[in-house]
Structure 1
């Protein structure tokens, strides 16, 4: 069933939401990205010694406090972008704040997002959402 813009509240451009586009899965990215980040140690070495080390092991063990309803998705999956934009518009969000690294820089996983930004911009535009970039240095 296709959504019509009149079915949504007007976007509130005073409401911004951070939208992280750094997630990946084997289907779209050839591997898990960010879902498998290292296990974070306890700040006290004595306490930390009693806990496992290594990395999260998706799809059941992911690096997040809450398991996403869409599973460990890829930010490059068009159906995920569509669903996220629909959810944001339903929540009366008007602006997405997306972190962006210049081409000479990457996040901790070394993944560039330049080829993903047009997909995000198109999906956001479809739902009358605006996108601002948070420039990383």
Structure 2
């Protein structure tokens, strides 16, 4: 009797485990583009901005800074070439501890944008000194049609 109840318990456990379905699907990066961030204003802050498109159709902008500490650095995608400057197209998450990751689907004005749209955008990325000092740009990279 003890043997059959143990066997029944093992079968019930196996049935429960077997009936569980995997809710998460592995997301795959379909394509990516890396832009080099160049130091400005003697900051020595460089790094990369990586645009990726994944298998779920999400576009992500990952910024990884070098030459900085844990200071928060606001980040933006702006219109025009970096030498011209321009208004903000997309407000990115601040770089905290040298990293920022933002899923992008719209411009700040509300228009939709995807991975291909970002690669064609007449724009540039700016990294700023701090939330209190948005006037000082510490790192920049041309993107899209300005590359």
Give the TM-score category using the shorter length: under 0.3
- Using CA pairs under 8 Å that are at least 6 residues apart, name the structure with larger relative contact order, 1 or 2: 1
Larger relative helix fraction? 1
TM-score normalised to the size of structure 2? 0.23
